[in-house]
Amino acid sequence: MIITICGGGNAAHTLAGLLASQKGLSVRVYVPFGDEAERWQEGVQRAGGITVYTPAGEKSGSPQLISRHARQAVAGAQVVILALPAFAHESTLRAIAPYLESDAWVGALPARGGFDLAARSALGAHAAHLSLFGLQTLPWACRIQQYGSQAVVLGAKEQVDIAAWPSAQAPVIAAQLETLLGVRLNPIASFLSLTLADTGQIIHPGMMYGLFHAWDGQPYPAKVLFYQSVDSAIAETLQRMSTEVQALRSELAKRYPELDLSAVRPLREWMLRSYSSSIVDGSSLQSLFATNRSYAGLQAPMRQVEGGFIPDFQARYLAEDVPFNLLVTRGIAELAGVSMPVIDGVLTWAQARLGKEYLVAGSLRGADLKASRAPQRYAISNLNELMSVNNNLQLPIGGLSYEF
Ligand code: NAI
């Protein structure tokens, strides 16, 4: 089997080493960014391959090809995996589209919200016979140790949700990828579920808002602990954001009873399910965060300046989780006519910190929406249309009102 990995960062290195160590797999890497292809080739040549250090031992192997050219890297591949930050998904998909095999599986680790919308838009007619897949999160916390030759897995998830389009492909793709990645994959009903179920979209922007919305601009003497700083006010914000997502889930379930949205869990339920053995005190949402041993010691994204540390508002907790997660959910809510006042408050604050404009007078029509994955950005202007593209439901579709 030929597998192509797109990307040259932490996730791509880890994936390349883990897959190339397996017999019968031919691993290629598509890495067009900067001088990464040359650096990666040099690293592999110097070390004789790429080694990944995992808690279960070392895995080593050599990619068959590392290239900055899409045709070389992608033609003939049965599986193409984007192991990239979400902002690079669309440009990468556009570059590889002409060379994809017509029945290839193309997916992202992690998918983030609205990956299927972005993929169909970027791939155009090439998407017709492909299968798309997306994982809820990256299965590993991982870092490059030596560019092109060494990566380390700091921890692995026990299980990860996976969605596919067409949705019937999810169990088939999950079974194959589970063996390749060595991680339990749980097929869920649709990309719509994957988008709404993402709790990072609540936790990361909600926590950043909670910690820093009243920041006075003065440096902190030390970096602030992230999860262990959750107080009752922050927990209340997170709870209300989760309740708003659940209200959207209920509205969609009422209007489309055939949808399976069981993967879209309230935050508290998700925390207990994901971290049952690491939580010391499960009595409140605040204590679920503050006493979760898996979160102990993790710091807020901050950067050093003269006199201390200031919040890094360009870090992924806002820069990725807002345009590629929370705004997608907020966009679906707008199509469904479900209001999200607390999420709007967080988004209004976050867009100012990011220097972007998404929400204008309570609706998603800001100038920077074109660099998000909200459905409005893909000219989807009503819920039936979203359901048709997302879930293959046959529904009457109205005219398109958004164009960018
Ligand atoms: P990374 O920061 O290591 O990825 C950077 C790579 O992305 C670059 O080396 C380059 O190959 C590519 N890239 C950057 N800008 C580009 C552009 N303009 N065009 C094309 N390619 C570009 O990211 P990492 O750590 O590999 O993470 C990938 C995704 O996984 C992210 O969404 C991240 O939030 C997520 N994730 C990562 C975890 C980790 O432990 N590394 C854990 C959980 C999630």
Mean pLDDT per 10-residue run, the chain (404 residues)?
98 98 97 97 97 94 98 98 97 97 96 96 92 95 96 89 94 97 95 96 98 97 96 97 98 95 96 87 94 91 98 97 98 98 98 98 96 95 87 43 24
As given in the structure block, the two tokens for residue 344 are 């709007």
For the chain, the residue count is 404
Q: Is there an atom of ligand 1 within 6 Å of 316 CB?
A: yes
102 contacts 78 by C-beta, under 8 angstroms = no
Residue 130 CA to chain centroid, in angstroms? 20
Q: Is there an atom of ligand 1 within 6 Å of 85 CB?
A: yes
Report the alpha-carbon distance of residue 16 to residue 22 in Å, rounded: 10
User: What is the predicted pLDDT for the residue at 391?
Assistant: 56
Q: How far is the CA of 317 from the centre of ligand 1 (A)?
A: 13
Report the alpha-carbon distance of residue 229 to residue 235 in Å, rounded: 10
As given in the structure block, the two tokens for residue 305 are 């300046």
Q: Is there an atom of ligand 1 within 6 Å of 206 CB?
A: no
Q: How far is the CA of 381 from the centre of ligand 1 (A)?
A: 31
Q: Is there an atom of ligand 1 within 6 Å of 36 CB?
A: yes
Has 204 been annotated as catalytic? Answer: yes
User: What is the predicted pLDDT for the residue at 155?
Assistant: 85
User: Based on C-alpha coordinates, what's the Rg of the chain?
Assistant: 21
Tell which atom from ligand 1 comes closest to the C-alpha of 144: 3
2 contacts 26 by C-beta, under 8 angstroms = yes
**Cα angle 99-104-110, degrees, rounded to a multiple of 5:** 100
Q: How far is the CA of 278 from the centre of ligand 1 (A)?
A: 27
User: What is the predicted pLDDT for the residue at 396?
Assistant: 45
Q: Number of H helices and number of E strands within the chain? A: 15, 16
Sheet holding 105-108, edge to edge: 65-67, 26-30, 2-6, 79-82, 105-108, 131-135, 159-165, 184-187
Tell which atom from ligand 1 comes closest to the C-alpha of 84: 28
Kindly report the CATH number that applies to the domain delimited by 2-187.
3.40.50.720
Closest CA to 107 of 86, 258, 146: 86
Q: Is there an atom of ligand 1 within 6 Å of 220 CB?
A: no
256-267 burial, b at 16+ Cβ within 10 Å, e below that, comes to beebebebbbbb
For a mutational test of ligand 1's pocket, the pick from 5, 10, 322, i.e. the residue with the most ligand atoms closer than 8 A to its C-beta, is: 10
Closest CA to 325 of 300, 296, 350, 353: 350
User: What is the predicted pLDDT for the residue at 372?
Assistant: 97
User: What is the predicted pLDDT for the residue at 390?
Assistant: 62
Q: How far is the CA of 345 from the centre of ligand 1 (A)?
A: 28
Strands 26-30 and 2-6: parallel
Topology of the domain covering 196-402: N-(1-d-carboxylethyl)-l-norvaline Dehydrogenase; domain 2 (1.10.1040)
- The CA-to-CA distance between both ends of the chain, in Å, stands at 39
Domain boundaries, the chain: 2-187, 196-402
Query: Which amino acid appears at position 281 of this protein?
Result: D
Report the alpha-carbon distance of residue 198 to residue 227 in Å, rounded: 17
- Residues 169-178: contacts with CB within 8 Å, 24+ apart? 169/105, 169/131, 169/133, 170/133, 173/105, 173/107, 173/131, 173/133, 176/79, 177/133
Nearest CA residue ID for atom 25, ligand 1 = 10
43 contacts 50 by C-beta, under 8 angstroms = yes
Closest CA to 256 of 393, 156, 159, 77: 393
